[in-house]
Amino acid sequence: MARPVTLFTGQWADLPLETMCKKASSFGYDGLELACWGDHFEVNKADETYCKGKRELLEKHGLELHAISNHLVGQAVCDPIDERHKSILPESVWGDGDPEGVRQRAAQEMIDTARAAKRLGVSVVNGFTGSSIWHMHYAFPPVPAEMIDRGFEDFAERWTPILDEFKKLGIKYGLEVHPTEIAFDIATAERALEAVNHHPAFGFNYDPSHLGYQGVDYIEFIYRFSERIFHVHIKDAKWSDLPKEAGVFGGYIPFGDRRRFWDFASPGRGDIDFEEIIRALNRINYTGPLSVEWEDPGMDREHGAMEACEFVRDLDFKPSSQAFDDAFLKD
């Protein structure tokens, strides 16, 4: 086995963590990537005793822990805040719902997440950043360049103090490049890095599914940001070869509807070229976990999670330590 195979618990947060541990172990996973919602990992409770208990629970089930993820709170750091955020945020972060207050409390919670990660003994926190300019990504009415510049400046102003605390603690922040974030493709990922002056604590939780259906070169992403790939999600997406009723933007149609141009798929059942991803990860010497983020609106999740674990184990391989034709050489 070249890398540990883990399961992200974000889509399983309706289950108690102990139940999730039992399931993940029975599915064959090496470990979990804990979501900071549900009871899986609660940042506001994460003192030394709490963190020790979480570690012991995973160890009881033979599970490793390499990363935690706080996507939902991270989203609120830069977003224009509205009623949608209330449903995803802890009450302590939402407070009275005043937008700037929410953003400030979210920023503090992300710093607290880094401190909790340190106590927990992991060195990577994954998540989102939010974006004050996502609603401008389709440039009409015409968007002056200065407005986009200001969006990246806002990101840098809000996230640099957070990242400074991450750096002090020796924790890395992996942004999952994704629509609605400050970075959603290669071009915006480069701008985000530039905006924070290539901060050593800032990098990426690589997830090809969000790049593939957009038409972004998800293999080139690995090479372009080889030193900034802090964590990897194994997540698949499937898109149509033919025009559909709803295109890349989705037409306000829910996931799972056959009229969509694209949808998420259980790993190995979509259009992402995972073998080429593994070869690229080998070339950049990525040795961290391969974390399954399982989403497929047309499949039972327990069947899918078990199948995905087997798929990743069969997929992953160590790089060669010698040239294939060395055997032909004479001394």
Averages of pLDDT over runs of 10 residues in the chain (331 residues) are 91 98 98 97 98 98 98 98 97 98 98 98 98 96 97 98 98 98 98 98 98 98 98 98 94 97 98 98 97 98 98 90 63 62
* 74 close to 128: Cβ distance less than 8 angstroms: yes
Q: Is residue 328 part of a domain?
A: no
Q: Is residue 14 part of a domain?
A: yes
Q: Is residue 326 part of a domain?
A: no
CATH code of the domain containing 205: 3.20.20.150
Q: Is residue 262 part of a domain?
A: yes
CB environment 147-162: b (16+ within 10 A), e (fewer):
ebeebbebbbebbeeb
Q: What is the pLDDT of residues 154-168, one digit of tens each?
A: 999 999 999 999 999
Q: Is residue 330 part of a domain?
A: no
pLDDT given at position 324 = 57
Q: What is the pLDDT of residues 75-84, one digit of tens each?
A: 999 999 999 9
Q: Is residue 288 part of a domain?
A: yes
Strands, E assignment, the chain: 5-8, 31-35, 64-69, 124-127, 172-175, 202-206, 229-234, 236-239, 262-265, 290-292
Q: Is residue 28 part of a domain?
A: yes
pLDDT given at position 322 = 65
Q: With CA atoms as reference, report the closest residue to 191 among 166, 155, 139, 229.
A: 155
pLDDT given at position 329 = 67
Structural domain for 294, as ranges: 5-320
pLDDT given at position 1 = 46
Q: Is residue 199 part of a domain?
A: yes
Overall number of domains in the chain: 1
